[in-house]
Amino acid sequence: MSTIALNALIAEAEDEARRVMTICNACRYCEGYCAVFPAMARRLTFSDADLHYLANLCHHCGACLHACQYAPPHEFAVNVPQSLAAVRVNTYTEFAWPKRFGLLYRQQGLALALSLALGLALMFLLAAWPGGKLWHAPLAGNFYAVFPHGLLVAVFGSVFGFALLAMLIGGVRFWRAQGSDAVQIGPAAKDAAHDIATLKHLGGGHGEGCASEDDRASLARRHFHQATMWGFALCFAATSVATLYHYVFGWKAPYALTSLPVILGTLGGIGLLVGPAGLWWLGKKRHPLHQAPSQQTMDAGLLALLFATSATGLALLALRDTSAMGLLLSIHLGVVMALFATMPYGKMVHGMYRGLALLKWHIERRKPLAHAAPE
């Protein structure tokens, strides 16, 4: 897709979201559904920054679509989840650093994720091949007999460090575009953290859950999101504890199956199998009016990488005392590196922007209304 065509697509998505929000601001039937509508009601007009803010407040539960009297087939064709999802994808490219990486992932999310994972896995396979470490005598689960510890730290530390830097720059750009201040940021941060940890806004308009293939509410999407989120958090905690063991206590890997890093990693891996698989299944079933075509390739790319990371990691744990450890380790490392490399540009980054939008909302709602929107 050319730059001109992409810019036209971005402008079209923002114009549609602006039209929808203007109609919603006059109606306000859904004002109690989630944070999007009271935040919307504080505005008379909607700048591009406002639309990015509201789009990232939206958790795409679909409840407002089925409650709306102006939803398709009405001539107004109001579809809040779909229109805001299109703007949300724009956020991931608009504030990405470097921006061209975000544009590339936007257009080829699933293909790029899978090809990158395969390419990096092949790189590790070729690196292990010459020394006979790809298929070897059992090494008692010692990964560092295949790849030196210092090499893995340098390679993965560099990739993960770049990903964190890119995400930080994107987050700062987003926050500055919002013109947000730090008034009452402590209490606001506490409330935002609660919303993130509980995925409050995936409860739907009345706490009954997200709309599925029709207007029936279900908490399944919230539960699968929680499995994914906490699964990733537990895997990160496992790596952090292992790092503490290695550098502070001098306890070298491999660790016993009953050790804290292995238990945390196993539980996290199970969460990253169940969560992404469940979200993919629900996504296939969702009503067409819930779908945002521009976001589907990003969703699929992230779910595929998370699932593959978990599947290869659990397989590696189960077979680490066998001759297949080097082969499985090479594949797992390639998938994990692909996940790290795409974090700032794919769907994974939605957590950061959504967290910042929730923080802005909890700051904003503590302020008095500067104006009363028209009835």
pLDDT by residue (tens digit) across 48-84?
A: 999 999 999 999 988 899 889 999 999 999 999 999 9
Range(s) of the domain holding residue 280: 108-348
**Token output for 67:** 């409650």
Residues 5, 8: Cα–Cα separation, whole Å: 5
pLDDT at 261: 97
**Environment class of 258 (CB within 10 Å of its CB; exposed 0-12, middle 13-18, buried 19+):** exposed
**Token output for 158:** 């560099």
pLDDT at 319: 96
Whether 208 maps to a domain, the answer reads: yes
Total domain count for the chain? 1
Residues of the chain with pLDDT under 70: 1-2, 107-109, 180-184, 205, 214, 370-375
pLDDT at 186: 85
Whether 210 maps to a domain, the answer reads: yes
Residues 296, 304: Cα–Cα separation, whole Å: 12
Strands (E), the chain: 210-211, 217-218
Q: Are 57 and 35 in contact (CB under 8 A)?
A: yes
Whether 192 maps to a domain, the answer reads: yes
Whether 303 maps to a domain, the answer reads: yes
Q: Are 220 and 212 in contact (CB under 8 A)?
A: yes
pLDDT at 5: 75
Residues 282, 262: Cα–Cα separation, whole Å: 30
Identity of the residue numbered 121: A
What pTM was computed for the model?
0.91
Would you call 36 helix, strand, or coil by DSSP?
Answer: helix
pLDDT at 182: 61
Whether 258 maps to a domain, the answer reads: yes
pLDDT at 1: 61
Find where tokens 């302020």 sit: 367
- DSSP string covering 104-118: HHHHSHHHHHHHHHH
Whether 337 maps to a domain, the answer reads: yes
